[in-house]
């Protein structure tokens, strides 16, 4: 056997090897083995991955330097250098790849032992283990945007979402060539991406014969390892407003690390930042520029609810202190897009969506989703897009996209050709990247029917099935969807049906748990309040005192997702009170659909039963979380096995779910009344408006009062208001003196 000069032989650096051997010997002698997967004694074969923790290196260095050393020849050689063992650890962090080879060489030769009759220069070919380094536990995560050229060669830790993953393919680590003339074996270590195979044999026999045989690759003697490329992208919470998320390529090589993540997974990755080296004409085309990547040493999949900023939970408890559940619910919902005035019920629904229900698995392995889908319809300028953007920021894993600029594959998954292997690979879309989070789709009505139809499966089954380019697979898309749609003719036309105003098919609308119709129909007083808030919103930050900040809301949602309430559905024919209440409301809605058969804007389907149960479970999570923050002694996170964590849904939770469903349906019912010519202003609404006007202005002329009431209260008719004023004046609720109308002197309720 022969070796290719300068290609496969690792330079023998005796000084560095002695230092590494000292660390390894001390770790074995003191039973502080920092090689966590070391499963072999001297002379036996070591397989798998050898993880070397930098924290253990520090402890071992301290143990060595604290012991008196006998001044032997080897010790003199170690102590004579001006580089201490502490410097060795520092050098390891700044040049990980070099020391990975040195550690592997020392472990293989001095501890495990080479196979009989094996030469050190061919150890790479017989090695069946790999050395990887682990960062310190106290080391912080480096944002992807801060990974710069100064970190090349260093061990770094980054976090991001996987957007692209290639298939795992075998990669040649050591290639064995067989010469047809001298039958010698030539080994070559592959270090570059675009490796050029050897063409001639340089053995002594071929040189003497002045004839080189043909080199044939011997696959049985070559060493192949699995390899995979992935691309990770910045988390949405780390991307500054107006910036484009930054991505970085990751090379995963070796057993135990490939196929460890899929598109859509959030991972914390430890590895070496390396330049990509090319040979020949390709490097000539690149010039002085080099591509960069991370050579992964360890990949850890993160749970979404554990990704959070450090916040003081005491601040949240202080703001929620002395507040009832109703007031706390209102405060938390107001913390969603706090500068958007109004939309109280919409914000409450979005808060429950961010908290989410509980996913259930039946005995037949059928999975019932726990995520809520919400659709906001209505006039432009009502703040729908701003609310969606804030929801994408506040969600632990939020993705915002516009329907007009999104294609079907952009929302689900795309099949692209990998430039390295030329094979088809999957690249996750918005719904896959928002797995276990929230996907916000603006301009939902502007999407093409074909693109919009691609998310039907994701909305109900919460998965994306792909069958393209020879790839047949299913990706997780366990995301809540909040969509915003505008009317077809600019402003909502109350004389037309909802289906005519918003071009969405019934099959799509039925997949939303809640649909809210937002119309710009406030009266004069509400309009003035809104205008005042908009004009002063640029400088008014008083809302911060009565709301939670973005980081505090994320922490609150993180705690809320740890609770797993359940609903008692009963075992016999008789349903428990909570389940019976949901059933009765569902039957009432079905009966109302039959009575109002002329208007089919919102129809009742069996999906409403599951929607109500999801809303009730989300409200139960909210109630349990408020109870958690009300106890000042709670310093640990709730455990899933705790009885309080898995409490039963109460009657209060069911009633709030039904109330939100009623508000959602009534937003469409108002337009039905307008189309049928019926007034929407009830006598109670007229009473409240008249009292408010008289309290502000005192006595008023009868005609002026009627005119002002009709202008401020939409749907109030002059003849109806006149008749009501006459009736209330006779009953004593109003005082009439000639044509002047005023409130009575004594305090009476109307």
The sign of the dihedral angle between the CA atoms of 258, 260, 265, 270 is negative
Give the pair of three-digit tokens for residue 277: 């080296």
Radius of gyration of the chain measured on its C-alpha atoms:
35
Q: Read off the pLDDT of each residue in 576-587 and give the average, rounded to a whole number.
A: 87
Q: Would you call 132 helix, strand, or coil by DSSP?
A: strand
Q: Read off the pLDDT of each residue in 77-103 and give the average, rounded to a whole number.
A: 69
Instruction: Find the distance separating the first CA and the last CA of the chain, reported in whole Å.
Output: 106
259's CB contacts (< 8 A; 6+ apart) are 168, 226, 228
- pLDDT computed for residue 78 by the predictor: 45
d(CA 391, CA 707): 41
366's CB contacts (< 8 A; 6+ apart) are none
The sign of the dihedral angle between the CA atoms of 420, 226, 299, 194 is negative
- pLDDT computed for residue 37 by the predictor: 46
Indicate the helix (H) or strand (E) that contains 712. Answer: helix 702-712
Helices 14-29 and 54-65, axial angle in degrees (round to 10): 90
pLDDT, tens only, 609-642: 999 999 999 999 999 888 888 775 665 666 555 5
pLDDT, tens only, 702-728: 888 888 888 777 777 788 888 888 878
Q: 275: which strand partners? A: 292
pLDDT, tens only, 269-318: 999 998 887 666 666 566 667 788 999 998 988 764 444 445 666 777 77
Confidence of residue 657 (pLDDT cuts 50, 70, 90): very high
Q: What fold, for 313-675?
A: Rossmann fold (3.40.50)
Nearest to 320 by CA among 590, 663, 559, 124: 559
**Chain region(s) in the chain for CATH 3.40.50.300:** 313-675
Q: Which CATH superfamily is domain 144-302 in?
A: Nucleic acid-binding proteins (2.40.50.140)
DSSP string, 621-682: HHHHHHHHHH-TT--SPPPTTSTTTTPBP-HHHHHHHHHHHHHHHHHHHHHHHHHTT-----
Distances (CA, A) of 219 to 118, 171, 177, 198, 610: 19, 12, 9, 15, 58
pLDDT, tens only, 394-407: 887 888 888 777 77
- pLDDT computed for residue 307 by the predictor: 45
Give the pair of three-digit tokens for residue 101: 């080879």
Angle at 89 between CA 86 and CA 93, to 5 degrees: 145
- pLDDT computed for residue 391 by the predictor: 92
Cβ 667 vs Cβ 516: under 8 Å: yes
The region of weakest confidence among 35-39, 359-363, 562-566 is 35-39
Of 19-28, 631-640, 693-702, the range with the highest mean pLDDT is 693-702
Q: Would you call 574 helix, strand, or coil by DSSP?
A: coil
d(CA 308, CA 238): 11
Indicate the helix (H) or strand (E) that contains 591. Answer: helix 577-595
d(CA 641, CA 643): 6
Nearest to 519 by CA among 709, 673, 708: 673
499's CB contacts (< 8 A; 6+ apart) are 506, 600, 601
Angle at 183 between CA 181 and CA 189, to 5 degrees: 110
Q: Read off the pLDDT of each residue in 253-281 and give the average, rounded to a whole number.
A: 83
Indicate the helix (H) or strand (E) that contains 525. Answer: helix 524-536
Q: Read off the pLDDT of each residue in 531-550 and give the average, rounded to a whole number.
A: 66
The region of weakest confidence among 496-500, 555-559, 659-663 is 496-500
Where does residue 241 fall: left (phi above 0), alpha (psi -120 to 50 degrees), or beta otherwise?
beta
CATH node for 683-742: 1.10.10
**497 pLDDT higher than 60:** yes
d(CA 78, CA 59): 19
Calculate the CA dihedral of residues 147, 151, 156, 162 and round it to 10 degrees: 30
**732 pLDDT higher than 80:** no
Confidence of residue 432 (pLDDT cuts 50, 70, 90): confident
Distances (CA, A) of 372 to 36, 156, 403, 616: 43, 38, 19, 11
424, burial (CB in 10 Å: exposed 0-12, middle 13-18, buried 19+)? middle
d(CA 431, CA 416): 17
**Chain region(s) in the chain for CATH 1.10.10:** 683-742
Give the pair of three-digit tokens for residue 555: 């922490």
**Chain region(s) in the chain for CATH 2.40.50.140:** 144-302
Confidence of residue 350 (pLDDT cuts 50, 70, 90): very high
Cβ 483 vs Cβ 438: under 8 Å: no
Give the pair of three-digit tokens for residue 320: 């929620």
DSSP string, 232-286: EE--GGGSPTTPPPPEEEEEEESTTTTTS--TT-EEEEEEEEEEE---THHHHHH
Of 229-233, 241-245, 473-477, the range with the highest mean pLDDT is 229-233
Nearest to 704 by CA among 722, 726, 731: 722
Q: 725: which strand partners? A: none
Indicate the helix (H) or strand (E) that contains 554. Answer: helix 550-560
Tell me the pTM: 0.69
As a whole-number percent, the residues of the chain with pLDDT over 70 amount to: 74
d(CA 326, CA 334): 12
Cβ 561 vs Cβ 307: under 8 Å: no
Residues belonging to the chain: 750
Cβ 419 vs Cβ 462: under 8 Å: no
């Amino acid at each position: 056997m022969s070796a290719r000069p300068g290609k496969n032989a690792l330079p023998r650096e005796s000084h560095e090897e002695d230092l590494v051997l000292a660390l390894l010997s001390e770790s074995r002698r003191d039973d502080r083995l920092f090689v966590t997967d070391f499963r072999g004694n001297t002379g036996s074969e070591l397989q798998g991955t050898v993880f070397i923790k930098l924290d253990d290196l520090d402890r071992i260095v301290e143990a060595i330097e604290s012991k008196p050393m006998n001044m032997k020849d080897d010790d003199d050689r170690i102590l004579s250098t001006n580089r201490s063992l502490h410097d060795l650890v520092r050098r390891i962090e700044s040049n990980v790849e070099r020391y990975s080879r040195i550690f592997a060489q020392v472990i293989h030769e001095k501890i495990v032992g080479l196979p009989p009759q094996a030469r050190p220069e061919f150890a790479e070919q017989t090695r069946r283990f790999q050395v990887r380094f682990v960062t310190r536990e106290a080391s912080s995560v480096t944002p992807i945007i801060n990974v710069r050229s100064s970190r090349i060669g260093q061990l770094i830790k980054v976090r991001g979402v996987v957007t692209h993953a290639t298939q795992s393919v075998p990669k040649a680590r050591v290639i064995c060539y067989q010469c047809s003339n001298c039958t010698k074996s030539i080994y070559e270590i592959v270090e570059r991406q675009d490796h050029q195979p050897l063409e001639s044999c340089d053995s002594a026999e071929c040189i003497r014969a002045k004839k080189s045989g043909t080199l044939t690759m011997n696959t049985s003697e070559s060493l192949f390892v699995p390899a995979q490329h992935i691309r990770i992208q910045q988390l949405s919470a780390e991307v500054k407003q107006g910036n484009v998320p930054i991505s970085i390529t990751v090379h995963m090589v070796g057993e135990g690390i490939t196929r460890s993540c899929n598109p859509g997974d959030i991972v914390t990755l430890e590895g070496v930042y390396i330049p990509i080296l090319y040979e020949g004409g390709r490097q000539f085309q690149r010039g002085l520029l080099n591509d960069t990547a991370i050579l992964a040493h360890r990949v850890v999949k993160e749970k979404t609810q554990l990704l959070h900023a450090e916040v003081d939970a005491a601040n949240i408890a202080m703001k929620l202190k002395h507040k009832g559940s109703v007031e706390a619910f209102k405060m938390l919902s107001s913390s969603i897009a706090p500068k958007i005035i109004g939309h109280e019920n919409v914000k409450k629904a979005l808060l429950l969506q961010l908290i989410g229900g509980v996913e259930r698995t039946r005995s037949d392995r059928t999975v019932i989703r726990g995520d809520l889908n919400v659709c906001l319809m209505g006039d432009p300028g009502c703040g729908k897009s701003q609310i969606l953007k804030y929801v994408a920021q506040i969600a632990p894993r939020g993705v915002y996209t516009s329907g007009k600029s999104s294609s079907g594959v952009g929302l689900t998954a795309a099949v692209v050709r990998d430039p390295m292997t030329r094979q088809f690979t999957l690249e996750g879309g918005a719904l896959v990247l928002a797995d276990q989070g929230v996907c916000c789709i603006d301009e939902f009505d502007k999407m093409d029917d074909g693109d919009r139809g691609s998310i039907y499966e994701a909305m109900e089954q919460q998965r994306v099935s792909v069958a393209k380019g020879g790839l047949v697979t299913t990706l997780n898309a366990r995301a809540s969807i909040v969509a915003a749609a505008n009317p077809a003719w600019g402003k909502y036309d109350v004389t037309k049906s909802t289906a005519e105003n918003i071009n969405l098919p019934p099959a799509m609308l039925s997949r939303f748990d809640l649909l809210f119709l937002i119309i710009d129909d406030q009266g004069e007083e509400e309009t003035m309040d809104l205008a005042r808030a908009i004009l002063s919103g640029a400088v008014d930050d008083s809302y911060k005192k009565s709301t939670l900040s973005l980081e505090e809301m994320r922490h609150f949602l993180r705690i809320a997702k740890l609770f797993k309430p359940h609903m008692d559905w009963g075992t016999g024919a008789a349903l428990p009170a909570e389940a019976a209440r949901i059933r009765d409301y569902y039957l009432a809605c079905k009966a109302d659909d039959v009575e109002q058969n002329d208007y089919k804007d919102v129809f009742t389907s069996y999906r409403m039963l599951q929607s109500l149960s999801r809303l009730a479970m989300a409200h139960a999570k909210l109630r349990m979380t408020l109870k958690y923050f009300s106890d000042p002694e709670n310093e640990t996170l709730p455990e899933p096995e705790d009885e309080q964590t898995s409490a039963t849904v109460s009657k209060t939770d069911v009633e709030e779910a039904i109330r939100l469903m009623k508000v959602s349906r009534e937003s469409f019912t108002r337009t039905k009344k307008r189309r049928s010519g019926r007034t929407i202003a009830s006598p109670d609404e007229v009473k409240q408006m008249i009292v408010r006007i008289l309290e502000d202005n005192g006595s008023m002329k009868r005609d002026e009062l009627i005119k002002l009431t009709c202008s401020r209260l939409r749907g109030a008719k002059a003849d109806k208001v006149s008749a009501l004023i006459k009736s209330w004046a006779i009953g004593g609720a109003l005082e009439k003196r000639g044509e002047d109308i005023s409130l009575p002197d004594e305090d009476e309720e109307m």
